[in-house]
Chains A and B, each alone.
Chain A
């Protein structure tokens, strides 16, 4: 109890609160800028936190990342450009809602459910940290292989396009993921002797190209036409939320639960949480046909999930010093620098610091409500900007964002190529979302497969030998069987 009182004293200090406020604005901006990720915000905060005591240092990181993950939803809804990868899963859905004139409702849902999902994640972080991490830490390559398979299965759920084209897109994504140094033998594949290609296909630059540049290409065709953009009436973004809440509270709880569990798994963060919860939402929805047409249901699930994953990623980081995602990988470095070596002992040696982190998490999620509101209101001005000025500016943001991801022109070139490729794919009715997911999960899939085969000396049954792996594997195979069976039935009926 002493520690908790001490923690209150540490957090509610004018300097700490000032740092939190500044990092909140910083995080909002970074998240809302496509191409700047929450991970990048953290990495760039680290040199600043060198000069701070532990509580403001961690406070800056916690607040900035929480804001960034939410703010990524804003450009997704307004411009179909997810501000961070965590918003990519439902960027299309959000944008469709905006096109239907439901921007107000969409932003209200994103804001309120982000805050609520974040709070659930924090609650779990506080209550269940040790127990959840115990489960996740026992995962070996077998379990991760099945998790990757489950994630890819989601890609097939995610798309409304016809199956051949959906799979084609997925295979392209997986193939792109094989560019660069291979995980089994360290051999550079498909690099054509280019040093830059050895780092592989950068996921963010690809995403900027596929989602944003392809949209610019389509938009450019009609910019010169005189007609001005219809700006929607600025309204009350909280109107209608009560009904949504009553209708979809179960979705919110499910999304937050999925996000929390996935966030706590080492290596899987907010972005994968959003993809999976969106797919689950569609799978169990009463109206799956509405998904992809600007339906709010999937957004409730996934926007809750990515914010809850952010907090729960700290569970394995704090308890075992094992990062739950790329953000906490950096956080662990900061913890070491601040003499708070992560591990079970940190809870007994420095409980007041751990409680401070918890308090800051709660605080960050609460101030997200007014700050997010302000950010949305000001972001709206973007839509009022004449398109002939907005379009060149967005192109510049895309270029700079891609450049920043690789710190070289390789990112810009990749963005350009992927933009044209994405445009070409969509012209042919081939969805790009499965490609992005394949690119994200490709390396994990191949790496864990090779590791598992080496460990099993080539015996496939080993993939089911461990209890959790067996369960995950059986679930995956069952879903595949159901999908196949339904496909056969459907074609038989035709």
Chain B
């Protein structure tokens, strides 16, 4: 997948070759991007964030004519990758996919980074949490489950989905708080992501998993688990049979795991001027749409200003929820 050479570019290359090293600065000054761009992903290869980043990268590559290389910088619950994006030189040649964790990690005292450490470019996706139980669970709907949780003493039910203080843990905490219970009424079993948690659910290790429905999809399709509700304002068209919490319990609580593209703070205008419209075009592309629908990922777009507002709002809400649950530190 070599970059297509425009005639202008080829002429410049010839000039550079002819003129020797002296002609090089002219090439370097040509329009952004004129060399490969790194797209840092704070999560591992093979996951949902990685897949989304790779499709965005390949479509940017087609549009802008330079390779967009996906680089996985994993570990530290996302801290490593997020700080790699924030601390990269702000020249537009390192951008990355930032995720909801950027509004959470600093409350936990894991890092100083927060949404303001970035130049937001576009919000591309957001997935609400669902309430999943094993297929042989006695609770047919979320109402029955909620009543059972309320009726039993704290700690009877066990739930999983992420590590302690992760996004799906907060989804559970927020839901319990909205029902008037304490955040730890259901014991949280920390897990290494949604897939192992769904495995625990199928194996009978935990009672509830509050990950997003697309993450739970394989187990649901396998007949091992069922989704009782999603914590979103409206139903997901991919899973039309799963009601919202508001419909079934009258609780209007929604959070989401979102993904967006951002660069280090202070990206120059000639870079954002290229990337922002290109990302908008990627979002509107039929290929991107069909990929996202295929995997059941929620499509949400926001331009840089909207993205800033979105993150500021999420940051505030997360801080509140985490302090309420005793998960905030420092």
Interface on A for B, CB 8 Å cutoff? Answer: 39, 42-43, 46-48, 50-51, 137-143, 180-181, 183-186, 188, 195-196, 198-200, 266-267, 319-323, 326, 329-333, 336-337, 339, 341-345, 406-408, 443, 447, 450-451, 454-455, 457
Contacts and interface: CB of A to CB of B under 8 A. Distances in A.
B200 A451 contact: yes
Contacts of B219: 320-322
Interface string B49-90: 011001101100000000000111111110110011000000
Contacts of A188: 76, 110
Interface string B32-52: 000000000000111100110
Interface in B198-215: 198-200, 202-206
A330 B75 CA distance: 17
B223 interface: yes
Contacts of B295: 336-337
B294 A336 contact: yes
A60 to B, nearest CB: 14
Interface string B213-242: 000011101111000000000000000000
Contacts of A266: 196, 199
B192 A183 contact: yes
Contacts of A186: 77, 108, 110, 163-166, 190
Contacts of B74: 199
B9 interface: no
Interface in B82-125: 83-84, 108, 110-111
Nearest to A444: B192
Contacts of A342: 218
B223 A43 contact: no
Contacts of A185: 164-165, 190
B158 interface: yes
B189 interface: yes
Contacts of A326: 46
Nearest to B195: A322
Given A139-B203, A185-B164, A320-B219, A180 B75 contact: yes
B54 A46 contact: yes
20 contacts: A50-B58, A180-B76, A184-B190, A195-B76, A198-B110, A200-B76, A319-B222, A322-B195, A322-B219, A326-B46, A329-B45, A332-B218, A337-B294, A343-B221, A344-B223, A447-B190, A447-B191, A451-B190, A455-B205, A455-B206
Contacts, number: 162
Interface of B: 1, 44-47, 50-51, 54-55, 57-58, 70-77, 79-80, 83-84, 108, 110-111, 155, 158, 160, 163-166, 187-192, 195-196, 198-200, 202-206, 217-219, 221-224, 291, 294-295
B76 A199 contact: yes
B178 to A, nearest CB: 23
A256 B295 CA distance: 35
Contact of B196 (A142, A267, A457): A267
B84 A408 contact: yes
A161 to B, nearest CB: 31
A142 B205 CA distance: 9
Given A140-B203, A180-B76, A339 B218 contact: no
A330 B46 contact: yes
Given A198-B79, A199-B74, A451 B205 contact: yes
Contacts of B51: 333, 336-337
B45 A407 contact: no
Given A137-B203, A199-B73, A344-B222, 7 more contacts: A43-B45, A50-B55, A140-B200, A195-B80, A199-B74, A330-B46, A337-B51
A406 B72 CA distance: 8
A185 B44 CA distance: 21
A143 B202 CA distance: 14
A335 to B, nearest CB: 10
A171 B12 CA distance: 59
A184 B164 contact: yes
B189 to A, nearest CB: 5
A196 to B, nearest CB: 7
A450 B1 CA distance: 46
Contacts of B204: 138, 140
A200 B192 contact: no
A492 B74 CA distance: 51
B205 A320 contact: no
6 closest A-B pairs by CB: A199-B75, A198-B76, A321-B218, A140-B205, A330-B46, A43-B45
B73 A406 contact: yes
A469 B328 CA distance: 36
- Chain A CB within 10 A, most for which of B70, B155, B192, B198: B192
- Chain B CB within 10 A, most for which of A140, A141, A186: A186
Contacts of B200: 140-141, 451
B305 to A, nearest CB: 29
B189 A46 contact: no
B58 A137 contact: no
Nearest to A44: B45
A447 to B, nearest CB: 6
A332 B222 CA distance: 14
A332 B46 contact: yes
A304 to B, nearest CB: 27
Contacts of B73: 199, 406-408
Nearest to A266: B199
Contacts of B224: 137, 320
